[in-house]
Amino acid sequence: IGLPTACILASVGHTVRGVDTNPEVVRILRSRGLHIYEPGLRELLELVTESGRLIFSSEPSTADVFVLAVPTPLNDDKSANLQYVKAATLSIVPYVRAGNLVILESTVPPGTLKNTVVPLLEKSGLSVGKELFVAHSPERVLPGRILHELVENSRIVGGIDEESTERARELYATFVKGQILCTDSTTAETVKLIENTY
């Protein structure tokens, strides 16, 4: 979901740095190749990389907004494996600054944002909810229709506080044509799991 989201954000005028820990993926994307298939993605990637609004890196950098979209596989006991969420969060800690927004898009158990992501972000020394804003907005798209559904589907946005929710809503409003439903982070996490279960 990371690459299509990065391309969509860049296509509406945001300057985006796409980060992947796999150097081969970064190499492929820098050469305007694709490591995944999604209808329309190649053309959109070419457009936004030619414009200079989307670049790729193996390392994060300072930014206004950080969007974390990483896998959340299951452990053998069917519990959620949050190793990628934790690693991605820790990777941005050196780069977050006062006023930044961090959004987690990955499907996670209810309470993950408050109990896992926020404590890791607090290692930055910033006060979450006062200096650093954090929200969950799970992706809800189907392969083969990702670019269409990122824009047209309704979206749920849940922050750890009202300011975080509003800042995340403002970002998604730059490209989402569907309804943007605002709530708290735990509700947003729960809604995604219920939708997946259904």
Average confidence (pLDDT) per 10 residues, the chain, 198 residues: 97 98 96 93 96 97 98 94 98 98 97 98 97 96 95 97 98 98 98 90
Q: Which one, of 184, 1, 2, lies nearest residue 110 by Cα?
A: 184
CA distances from 186 to 40, 89, 152 (A): 33, 18, 24
Quick one: pLDDT at residue 81? Answer: 97
**Residues 156, 181 contacting (CB under 8 angstroms):** yes
Q: What CA–CA distance (Å, rounded) separates 60 from 94?
A: 9
Task: Give the model confidence (pLDDT) of 79-131 as tens digits.
Answer: 999 999 999 999 999 999 999 999 999 999 999 999 999 999 999 999 999 99
pLDDT of residue 198: 85
Residues facing residue 182 across a β-bridge: 157
Query: Which pLDDT does position 197 carry in this prediction?
Result: 87
Is the pTM of the predicted complex or chain greater than 0.85?
yes
CA atoms of 62 and 92, how far apart (whole Å): 8
The pLDDT of residue 122 is 97
pLDDT of residue 132: 98
Q: What is the pLDDT of residue 196?
A: 87
pLDDT of residue 45: 97
Measured distance CA(45)–CA(84) in Å, rounded: 25
